[in-house]
Amino acid sequence: MMTARQQYLIRDANEGDITRLSELITELGYPCTADEVQVRYANISKNSDYRTLVIVDDEFVVGMAGLTHQLWYEKNGTYIRIHCFVISKDHRGLGIGKILIRAIEHWAVETGANAIVLSSGNRDERLIAHQFYQDLGYNLKSSGFIKEL
């Protein structure tokens, strides 16, 4: 049984993390290859409004968050959108997700954002994630829609 460590390193992702990011994104339910993530990351990393954080346990990436700093249309100010958030299935339940969320919240405050917004799928396997977010003070506020083209 795994136990939580006292200290995890949270840092910006880098090129050396590409393979691990593809594994985590696949675990999240979006199968992809390292080559696909390489292309995505190359584009994302060029945009200063985007940030990809990883959380590391003894030099092994155990989680990631894909973020953007965005402007509101509906009101003044900015917000952080969490596009992608995943902790490795072997490391869930140890408080690692909470540590990473708190780091995101800290960055949001640093940037002057007045909210954090995220979407989580309406699939049964996401119910635990929904409870996780609610336990951390996030409110279920809207429904999302998508039309693939």
**What is the per-residue pLDDT across 25-74, written as a single tens digit (0 to 9) for each?**
999 999 999 999 999 999 999 999 999 999 999 999 999 999 999 999 99
Q: Domain for residue 1, yes or no?
A: no
Query: pLDDT tens for residues 3-29?
Result: 555 689 999 999 999 999 999 999 999
Q: Compute CA distances 141 → 66, 91, 101, 127, 136, whole Å.
A: 21, 28, 18, 15, 15
The reply to whether 145 falls in a domain is no
Residue 144 lies in a domain: no
Residue 143, in any domain of the structure: no
> From CA 49, how far away is CA 71, in angstroms rounded?
10
Q: Is residue 3 part of a domain?
A: no
In terms of residue numbers, what domain contains 98?
9-135
Task: Report the CATH number at residue 105.
Answer: 3.40.630.30
Instruction: Say if strands 9-12 and 50-57 run parallel, antiparallel, or are unpaired.
Output: antiparallel
In a domain, 146, yes or no: no
Q: Six-digit token pair at 32?
A: 């992809």
Total domains in the chain come to: 1
Residue appearing with tokens 């119910």: 127
- What's the pTM? 0.89
pLDDT in tens, 72-122: 999 999 999 999 999 999 999 999 999 999 999 999 999 999 999 998 877
